[in-house]
Structure 1
Amino acid sequence: MAIQNIFVVGAGLMGSGIAQTAMTSGYHVILNDQRQETLERAQMGIESRLKHMVEKGTMSEEEFQDCMGRLKIDTRLSAAREADLVVEAIFENLEAKQAVFRQLEEICPDHTIFASNTSSISLTALAAATKRPSRVVGMHFFSPVPKMKLCEVIFGLLTAQDVLEDIKEVGEKMGKTLILADDKPGFIVNRALLPMLNEACVIVGSFIGSVEDVDNGMKLGCNHPMGPLELADMIGLDILLNVMNVMDKEIGAKYHPSLLLRKMVTAGYLGRKSGAGFYLYENGKKLGVNPVLTRRHSLEG
């Protein structure tokens, strides 16, 4: 099946990045969110990033206009009635994702593929909420989507082979390298990555090493391009916590989120998007370590 029209549900960081990548790859995209202001902010962000590409000379003005012409925003799920592919990119919650697919079930044509950007939730469970389980698949993109080359494709118990072939074509057209994972908790990347990120939080929370020393240790000692705490901030500490909770429930104590991670999220330190996580940020630029992680309290004085 030739996919031409993509409907993206969720206009946050991931959803807007997926929409941008799809439209710059030649697809017609409708970006959906319940809130008009969120959609307008996402549209402005996409436009700004593409204009920056024009300024750098990596995109022509004509290409810019063509790309923006392929993007529409809409608060209504009913706008998905001509979608060939739906990519759901809302928060990591099984019931919420199932509810989206149930609503789209009544709107989309029979041929429409339902893809989820989930990083941990069972695709078989998502597919069970639909009348088309063979057409449900995972497309786990990585942030920032326009720059990161990987797309992890996850097949559920009933995902059809022709769906995987169509997704392969879409992913390659978007310029992504695809890896294929069975429907097991955490799939490939998060299964390996999350224990490291969580243990980095444990090291800082146990006063074994500082934020900067942990990140420098992994960058300079293990040749990682980014330290685990910097990466956690980029992912979003709330998202990291949600995924850890899912995997803790599914797999066990190995993925139990650290006390420090839970405290950071409770305090509202969510990473880059909130301006503070393990580091402080201004306009996306890292300023330094969050001082709440370096200060010591005393009853003296």
Structure 2
Amino acid sequence: MKNKSEKRGVMKKIAVITGADSGLGREYTRLIVKESDVDEIWALAKTPARLQRLVQDFGDRIVPVEIDLTQLDALADFHRRLSLEKPEIRWLINNAGIGKFGPFEKLEALEAAWIVDLNCRAVVEMTWNCLPYMLAGSRIVNTASQAAFQPLPYFNVYAASKAFIDRFSLALAVELKPRGIAVTSVCPCWMRTPFITKAQTSAKPDVTRLFPITDPSPVAYLALADSKKGRTRSVYGTLTRLSILGAKLLPVGIVMAVWLIQQGLSGIPAFPGRKSQNHADGEQASRLPALTLDDKAAD
């Protein structure tokens, strides 16, 4: 069945949201459904059941797109779909992402590359694919992180990938301003989403102290509001702002030392020459309790 815009011969207006099926992406989807100038929301994710749940919860304006954004063939197929349908993209929300806790050397084979592929390359590819279909008034929202502002030992690939997203977004905002296209880098603190469960591993040392932590709903609401105001960054929460400010002002060694202490890993040196208190097996046990996710966090 054709929608109203197609019946009138008018280009349909869509929003494209990656990682739309859970967590922050689901909140973005819930809010974008309320936008009156969007005919369809193309919800991109890997899990068919969760995509169908979006349709059930938010209506037939949701167009589920099952896709693995780490696969070049899948991205090429999406590019072909855009070229055939030629929609006007009002919103592009690059939200899909992954991370893994623990030492870099203990990541599984290709896991680090997978993080970079999804968090960095897919954002670049999706943006390149969608830009030809964006006009003045269109908006790009990229999910970066508070982690973008500091190197994080034992979460280092993720933090580096988010720094890439933030810098890419800020520079792109300058390039696209003459076209009237806004670009916003969203830099939240920890959120109660399935991301945390997926990031956990059995490797030690580990990341266990997730503070501050918030629900994704207010983060998504502020992100879209800031995008409409033309802001290049969206940061939710006073503690998050203070953390980012501290990361900008303090020497990087001190920033990493504070992070290690926060994680109960103060025996692991952040400065060259500092004596380590590691156990005999070469691993430092965290002295802080692991985060216990409630039912809401595990949706």
> TM-score, length-normalised on structure 2?
0.44
Higher helix share: 1
- Asked which structure has the greater RCO (Cα within 8 Å, sep 6+), the reply is 2
